[in-house]
Chain A
């Protein structure tokens, strides 16, 4: 089971994910996961950017957007991002919403 999204971009390894602290930071910055239905594009973009905060907080926004645009299998990426984001809450209740066998699911070329 993976609780991160790993990939390499321009010879640099990235490990995306969320901690409760970064989720709190995102929410205090105005992010609301419930907006995913009314504003899916903005929310997913912000969610992707937020997933850099835990391990790559100083990555520039332009680079984040550039990486996001080039990602393969966007649907799977989005599902995984939401899964990881929700995991910060579900694990508090002993739940496990993360799917298995998703290690290195996201490839980059």
Chain B
């Protein structure tokens, strides 16, 4: 990174050399030519802070993404593991792959739960209708 520099090296450099050395880095994180050379001299500090925040966020995102991938992999391994058992019964099948992605937001979780409840209610309704029909037939 452009900002990492040996302090002893810095001492022997002129300010102009330090500016020119760091300029490409600051361009790469979004500063313009005018902001760097002619703008408020404290501006790079804030750009640097913003860059660090962005970097942290990206790291967190990558970390979470890897964790999630691991979760899917783990789930798949658990799903297929029964068929790899040495003494598995004939006809053992792997569990089906998750039909939908894992919900990540509270909104998605709530929506999934509601859908689950609706499914259960529909099942019960079908069962009740069939049961009533059978009762009617018997009567």
**Contact between chains at B44 and A91 (CB < 8 Å):** yes
Contact among B10, B41, B45, B48 with A20 in the assembled complex (CB-CB below 8 Å): B41
**Contact between chains at A27 and B41 (CB < 8 Å):** no
**Contact between chains at B41 and A19 (CB < 8 Å):** yes
Please measure, in the bound complex, the distance between the C-alpha atom of A94 and the C-alpha atom of B43, giving whole angstroms.
Answer: 10
Is B130 in the interface zone, CB < 8 Å from A? no
Across the two chains, which residue of chain B brings its CB closest to A86?
B15
Contact among B3, B19, B43, B45 with A96 in the assembled complex (CB-CB below 8 Å): B45
Is A73 in the interface zone, CB < 8 Å from B? no
Contacts of A87 in B (CB 8 A): 41-42
Contact flags (1/0) for B8-22 with A, using CB distance below 8 Å? 001000111011001
**Contact between chains at A89 and B39 (CB < 8 Å):** no
Residue count of chain B within 8 Å CB distance of chain A: 22
User: Which residues of A in the span 31-56 have a Cβ within 8 Å of any Cβ on B?
Assistant: 32-33, 54
Contacts of B26 in A (CB 8 A): 92
Contacts of B14 in A (CB 8 A): 27, 32
**Contact between chains at B16 and A27 (CB < 8 Å):** yes
Please measure, in the bound complex, the distance between the C-alpha atom of A54 and the C-alpha atom of B43, giving whole angstroms.
Answer: 15
Contacts of A27 in B (CB 8 A): 14-16
Is B107 in the interface zone, CB < 8 Å from A? no
Q: Known A19-B41, A20-B36; judge A92-B16 contact (CB<8 A).
A: no
Please measure, in the bound complex, the distance between the C-alpha atom of A89 and the C-alpha atom of B11, giving whole angstroms.
Answer: 11
Is B37 in the interface zone, CB < 8 Å from A? yes
Please measure, in the bound complex, the distance between the C-alpha atom of A32 and the C-alpha atom of B16, giving whole angstroms.
Answer: 11
B interface residues with partner A (beta carbon < 8 Å) = 3, 5, 10, 14-16, 18-19, 22, 26, 36-45, 48-49
A-B contact pairs, 24 of them (CB 8 A): A17-B41, A19-B38, A19-B39, A20-B19, A20-B36, A20-B38, A24-B37, A27-B15, A27-B16, A32-B14, A33-B15, A54-B38, A88-B15, A91-B42, A92-B3, A92-B44, A92-B45, A92-B48, A93-B3, A93-B5, A94-B45, A94-B49, A95-B45, A98-B42
